């Protein structure tokens, strides 16, 4: 038991140290200040959530222990709203905060208010009517399990909100970029999955202990898992830039066509311009092609381009551009002996994997299978 407690304390100390240093580094950044400040606040909350485990063995005063436990609860209640807010801002086109933000932090603020009341109640004579031995002993006992009851539900709620935000972001990427693999933030999805497992471990363990009166998942496993999550967020978060950079988007919102001035004739005219940009100008060969580059090229507002793509052509920007890339790649696979990777880069793809995925989506076969089929077809025609 003693060794287990020491191991848990060590793991919690490692997690708190990583979070604290990550937060300090974030606060020194001059670029994307809002994003890095929110990541710093998240890491500070993570540090607070570890304080109870880290400091409890070395604190002697029961008053100090009560205060640290209060900070621990506030940190635990702040982690998932702050992570959701960080992801929201990271994936927003103008890095703007969502509306009615204060309601998302109602629970942490409630816990913070309770922590202040607890601190006041521990001062001799501060609130005479409550200054009784029974009340003070209850506070100093650290029996806060009842206060923690809402937190698992809060975590589940913000897991859902964050996952929904990621789905919306990935859909929006395909409206404005022809190559999305470097902007998809797969590490955030990994963190979400890891947090889900962590939540299941903790919640399942508590339920199992309540039902069977036997130990659930070893606490060492939970703390080790937490280190993986905190390390991933810190390392990837420090290098992550917003997926849709403000100057690229020219601060234009996501398209809304309800009040569009485009009539059918204008849509047809813009659609011809877009196809000409691909067929004659071969704009799809630009590996960094975006909706805004295409809009400037055809001299049409980006919202109008998006509207024509969706309503007249029937494709999002991603599928529209990659369709031309794949058709070009098919011709090259038929007529040249260049390697598949060379062809992928030449037609505008940034990676072999994205080329294979797009090619299979359009042709229902891999580039290798397509080339073999063409060779086989030629051999039959010659025989």
CA quadruple 28, 32, 38, 43: dihedral sign: negative
Domain residue extents for the chain = 2-247, 255-314, 319-383
For the segment(s) 2-247, the CATH number from 1.20.1070.10, 3.90.1300.10, 3.40.50.970, 3.20.20.70 is: 1.20.1070.10
Helix-then-strand count for the chain, H and E: 16, 0
330-334 long-range contacts (CB < 8 A, ≥24 apart) are 330/363, 330/370, 333/367, 333/370, 333/371, 333/374, 334/371, 334/374
Whole-prediction pTM value?
0.83
For the segment(s) 319-383, the CATH number from 3.70.10.10, 1.10.10.60, 3.40.50.360, 1.10.3720.10 is: 1.10.10.60
Per-residue pLDDT of the chain (383 residues; tens, 9 = 90+): 445 778 888 898 999 999 999 999 999 998 889 999 999 999 999 999 888 788 877 776 767 777 777 788 889 899 999 999 999 999 988 777 888 889 999 999 988 887 777 666 665 544 444 444 544 455 445 555 556 778 888 988 999 999 999 999 999 999 999 988 888 898 998 898 888 888 887 777 777 776 776 665 677 887 888 899 999 999 999 989 888 874 444 444 445 554 556 788 999 999 999 999 999 999 999 999 999 999 999 999 988 999 999 999 999 999 999 999 999 999 999 888 889 999 999 999 998 989 999 999 999 999 999 988 887 776 676 65
Task: Reduce the DSSP state of residue 177 to 3 states and report it.
Answer: strand
Backbone angles phi, psi at 148, to 5 degrees: -80, -10
């Amino acid at each position: 038991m003693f060794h287990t407690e020491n191991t848990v304390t060590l793991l919690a100390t490692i997690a708190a140290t990583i979070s604290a240093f990550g937060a300090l580094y974030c606060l020194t950044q001059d670029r994307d200040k809002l994003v890095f400040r929110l990541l710093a606040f998240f890491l500070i909350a993570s540090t607070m959530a570890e304080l109870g485990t880290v400091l409890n063995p070395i604190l002697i005063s029961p008053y100090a222990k009560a205060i640290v436990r209060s900070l621990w609860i506030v940190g635990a209640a702040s982690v998932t709203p702050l992570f959701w807010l960080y992801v929201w801002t990271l994936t927003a086109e103008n890095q703007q905060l969502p509306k009615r933000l204060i309601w998302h932090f109602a629970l942490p603020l409630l816990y913070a208010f309770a922590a202040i009341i607890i601190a006041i109640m521990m001062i001799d004579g501060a609130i005479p009517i409550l200054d009784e031995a029974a009340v003070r002993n209850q506070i100093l006992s650290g029996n806060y399990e009842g206060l923690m009851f809402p937190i698992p539900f809060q975590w589940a709620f913000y897991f859902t909100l964050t996952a929904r935000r990621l789905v919306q972001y990935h859909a929006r990427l395909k409206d404005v970029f022809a190559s999305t693999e470097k902007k998809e933030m797969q590490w955030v999805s990994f963190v979400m999955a890891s947090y889900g497992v962590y939540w299941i471990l903790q919640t399942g363990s508590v339920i199992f202990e309540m039902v069977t009166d036997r130990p659930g998942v070893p606490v060492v496993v939970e703390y080790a898992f937490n280190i993986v999550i905190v390390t991933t967020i810190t390392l990837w978060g420090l290098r992550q830039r917003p997926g849709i950079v403000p100057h690229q988007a020219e601060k234009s919102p996501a398209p809304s066509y309800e009040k569009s001035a485009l009539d059918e004739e204008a849509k047809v005219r813009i659609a011809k311009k877009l196809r000409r940009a691909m067929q004659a100008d071969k704009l799809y060969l630009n590996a960094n092609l975006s909706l805004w580059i295409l809009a400037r090229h055809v001299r049409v507002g980006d919202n109008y381009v998006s509207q024509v793509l969706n309503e007249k052509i029937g494709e999002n920007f991603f599928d529209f551009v990659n369709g031309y890339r794949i058709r070009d790649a098919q011709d090259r696979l038929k007529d040249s002996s260049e390697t598949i990777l060379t062809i992928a880069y030449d037609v505008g793809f940034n990676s072999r994997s994205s080329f294979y995925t797009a090619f299979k989506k359009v042709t229902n076969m891999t580039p290798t299978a397509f080339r073999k089929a063409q060779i086989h077809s030629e051999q039959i025609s010659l025989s």
